[in-house]
Amino acid sequence: MRIITVSPLTKQVPERFSPSGANWILKCHLRGLFKNTNNKGYDLKNNYAAALGNVIHKILDINSSNRINTEEEFNIIWQLTEQEEQNGGLKYLVKNYARYKYAGKRLILKEPDGVFHERSNFLWQFLSERWLASSDGFLRGRPDTLVLKNGLPYEIKDYKTGQVFREDIPEMSADSGADFYDFIKDEYRNQLLLYAYLVRENYGFFPTKLTVVTPDGTEISGPCIPDEVTGLVSRIRVMQQNLTKLREGELASPSALNCRYCNYKPDCPFRIITEPGPYGDIAGTAVDINAHTFGNFTITLNSGQKIFMPQPCADMDSVLKLKGKPLFINNVKQSASHPDGYSFTKFSIIYNVQQ
Ligand code: SF4
């Protein structure tokens, strides 16, 4: 259990967007208005898979300036980058670690002919994490990999560490092809479309192919449709205008799914608190804090809900100072016997939101 003090949210209409940011804001426009650099990393989950994703993105970044040409070079850089991200490595902390590593290696070293070998430069160029900006500066971003064929845009590859398919379709076997591309999550498809827009702005042509690379290295590709790209860019421009015109309540699209991992959830007045479960959330003002004999404690909220800390706490002073403060607590577990009873888990974080 950790305690994090967060500053109140401030508001600012963004002048520019990144493909991933724009996509995130499209789901709830209010996110586009909220700004609080102090609160970066509300850290709503303890996610080693995300740390491994960072390793892969850092390697792509390194590859863009100092090209990685061989497996040996890849392995050395992987090891150094992994240590930077997590002392002792991530091998035993992330499910399917070997698949992620293989997929990263494949993304950097494999050529589109399907053969896993050292790269040549005759026909194909792989540009990793290359900065691209629209001519008016409205959109900026770095696709994981831009593939050029004879100097012209051919393919954009975006590497994903999570589930790539929408949740509302039956389970599918891993394979590649346009049929599967139709079932990838909207946010991943949109991100590829916005990268395609940036490519057209910088190279004068849209790429032919858009690809999501899954954790096991499977490539799911579809065609780049120009009307789809320009339609999405228009939606984002309208969204930006709405941020200056509409009230907060009109911009907010709260839902259990949207708010679940939203960075602004600890302080957002429109948030939906997910149902407490093994990793549920809870919020309220701490009206009472009882320190118990074995160094554990119970916090009582103004709603009557009580959260029990089953382990001894090393920093009871900080816990006692939370009395009277508005709190947002994530990853609590509901008691089976008491409807208002909860316990902290090892992933719980208490957010003390300053007023
Ligand atoms: S917490 Fe929910 S309503 Fe508030 S900004 Fe995030 S997604 Fe939107």
Q: Residue 94 sits in a domain of what CATH number?
A: 3.90.320
Helix axes 71-85, 97-109, angle to 10 degrees: 130
State pLDDT tens for residues 273-322: 876 566 788 999 999 999 888 888 999 999 999 999 988 888 888 989 99
Is 24 domain-assigned? no
> Are 54 and 181 in the same domain?
yes
Q: Which residues pair with 304 in a beta bridge?
A: none
* pLDDT tier, 160 (very low <50, low <70, confident <90, very high otherwise): confident
Q: What is the pLDDT of residue 299?
A: 95
Q: What is the pLDDT of residue 102?
A: 83
Q: How many domains does the chain have?
A: 2
Burial of 228 (0-12, 13-18, 19+ CB in 10 A): middle
> Are 223 and 318 in the same domain?
no
Ligand 1 pocket, residue 263 CB under 6 Å: no
Most informative mutation of 11, 239, 253, 271 for ligand 1 (most atoms within 8 A of CB): 271
Angle (nearest 5°) at CA 147 between 146 and 150: 135
Ligand 1 pocket, residue 268 CB under 6 Å: yes
Cα separation, 302 vs 203, whole angstroms: 58
Is 118 domain-assigned? yes
CATH number at residue 291: 2.40.50.140
Q: How many CB atoms lie within 10 A of CB 24?
A: 20
Ligand 1 pocket, residue 271 CB under 6 Å: yes
Q: Kindly give the distance from the C-alpha atom of residue 266 to the centroid of ligand 1, in angstroms, as a whole number.
A: 10
Residue 2: closest CA among 326, 350, 286: 350
The type of residue at 303 is S
Cα separation, 198 vs 120, whole angstroms: 26
> Are 154 and 290 in the same domain?
no
> Are 189 and 314 in the same domain?
no
Cα separation, 289 vs 212, whole angstroms: 49
> Are 217 and 303 in the same domain?
no
> Are 140 and 79 in the same domain?
yes
> Are 184 and 302 in the same domain?
no
Is 204 domain-assigned? yes
Domain with 338 in it? 273-353
> Are 147 and 94 in the same domain?
yes
Is 126 domain-assigned? yes
Q: What is the pLDDT of residue 177?
A: 46
Q: Kindly give the distance from the C-alpha atom of residue 263 to the centroid of ligand 1, in angstroms, as a whole number.
A: 8
Cα separation, 38 vs 78, whole angstroms: 30
> Are 126 and 207 in the same domain?
yes
Q: Kindly give the distance from the C-alpha atom of residue 262 to the centroid of ligand 1, in angstroms, as a whole number.
A: 6
Q: Which residues pair with 280 in a beta bridge?
A: 332
Residue at a domain's end among 186, 217, 237: 237
Cα separation, 280 vs 326, whole angstroms: 18
| pLDDT, mean over the chain | 83
Q: What is the pLDDT of residue 37?
A: 45
Is 72 domain-assigned? yes
Cα separation, 61 vs 142, whole angstroms: 9
* pLDDT tier, 10 (very low <50, low <70, confident <90, very high otherwise): confident
Residues across the chain: 355
Ligand 1 pocket, residue 160 CB under 6 Å: no
> Are 140 and 233 in the same domain?
yes
The position carrying tokens 């009582």 is 300
Instruction: List, in order, residues 6 or more apart from 299 with CB less than 8 Å away.
Output: 286, 288, 289, 306, 307, 309, 319, 322, 327
Q: What percent of the chain has pLDDT over 90?
A: 32
> Are 310 and 210 in the same domain?
no
**3-state class (DSSP) for residue 253:** coil
State pLDDT tens for residues 182-226: 788 888 999 999 999 999 999 999 999 999 987 667 788 899 999
Whether the pLDDT of residue 354 is over 60: the answer is yes
> Are 200 and 288 in the same domain?
no
Ligand 1 pocket, residue 251 CB under 6 Å: no
Is 267 domain-assigned? no
Mean pLDDT in residue range 87-116: 74
Cα separation, 164 vs 176, whole angstroms: 12
Is 251 domain-assigned? no
Residue at a domain's end among 212, 237, 262: 237
Is 255 domain-assigned? no
Q: What is the pLDDT of residue 111?
A: 59
Q: Kindly give the distance from the C-alpha atom of residue 257 to the centroid of ligand 1, in angstroms, as a whole number.
A: 10
**pTM score of the predicted model:** 0.75
Residue at a domain's end among 213, 237, 261: 237
